[in-house]
Amino acid sequence: MTNEMLERMEAHITRLDGNLTHVKRVLLLSKLIAEKENMPYGEDILAFVAYFHDIAAYPTYAASYKGSFDHALESSKLAPDLAKEYGYDNNQIEIIVEAVKYHDKAGMGEHNETRLIRNADGIDYIGYMAVARDFVKFPKDMRKAMEMVRQRKVTFGSLIDLDYAKSLAAPRIRELDNFIERFEEESFGIY
């Protein structure tokens, strides 16, 4: 992956009003996990999936779906055309589609890239990061934010199944539990 290509992807995410810092962390985390777990992966594929796995959830696209929708599935439908624009071939696109589609589905898919992104994405949604992201998402509704924080703990925990990812997740889960407990105490349940 050249710097130029990465910069092009970054500009793309920014244009779509996407969450650039999240995708950068997901790429970093997935590479760290791959290294510790000795899992081979396609560098260009991993970068593309990290950057575009949530694309359907970005405002540009999200507005076109009615009601609740599976953002991973919808993102995987957008992925092939997008990946072609960046010069990916059909074999790479097959892996990209699987990884995007199953990035939030425990145990699904067979490519290393799928598992790496799922574990990395899961880690970025627990701990202080979960709290920060959920409170930023619902700045005027603490109850809703707390609901999301609690839900993250349940759903994202099950997505993390690689040993090194689990070791990264453990302190974050403890912090999340601690936050939830202290928040309830400090607020007296009034929030």
Q: What residues make contact with Fe ion under the rule CB under 5 A?
A: 54, 121
Q: Which is nearer to Fe ion, 98 or 121 (CB)?
A: 121
Residue recorded with tokens 């889960």: 173
- Nearest approach in angstroms of CB 26 to Fe ion is 6
Query: Min. distance of Cβ 28 from Fe ion in angstroms?
Result: 13
Q: Which is nearer to Fe ion, 114 or 183 (CB)?
A: 114
Residue (54 or 74) nearer to Fe ion, CB: 54
- Give the dihedral of Cα atoms 52, 54, 138, 148; nearest 10 deg: -140
Strand (E) or helix (H) holding 174:
helix 163-187
Instruction: Output the smallest distance, CB 125 to Fe ion, in A.
Output: 7
Say how far apart CA 61 and CA 101 lie, in whole Å: 16
Least CB distance from residue 139 to Fe ion, whole Å?
A: 20
Q: Closer CB to Fe ion, residue 62 or residue 183?
A: 62
Cα 38 to Cα 7, 25, 34, 110, 158, distances in angstroms: 27, 20, 6, 16, 22
The Cα 29–Cα 154 span in angstroms is: 20
Q: Quick one: 90 exposed, middle or buried, by C-beta within 10 A (0-12, 13-18, 19+)?
A: exposed
Nearer to Fe ion, 113 or 121 (CB): 121
Closest residue by Cα to residue 19 from 112, 134, 115, 179: 134
CB of 1 to Fe ion, least distance (A): 19
Looking at the Cβ atoms of 54 and 134, the one nearer to Fe ion is: 54
Minimum gap (Å) between residue 7 Cβ and Fe ion: 21
Q: Exposed/middle/buried for 40, CB within 10 Å: 0-12, 13-18, 19+?
A: exposed
